[in-house]
Amino acid sequence: MKRFLVSILRFGIVAAILMFLFRSGQFEPAKLVKIFARPDLFLAGTFFIIFTTLIGALRWRLLVRMQNVDLGVWESIKPTYIGFFQRGTPRCGKR
Q: Report pLDDT digits (tens) over 52-61.
A: 888 988 888 8
Q: Report pLDDT digits (tens) over 26-85.
A: 887 777 787 778 888 888 988 998 898 889 888 888 988 999 988 888 888 888 888 777
Q: How far apart are CA 32 and CA 22, in angstroms?
A: 13
Instruction: Give burial (CB, 10 Å; 0-12/13-18/19+) of 57.
Output: buried
Verdict on whether the full-model pTM lies above 0.85: no
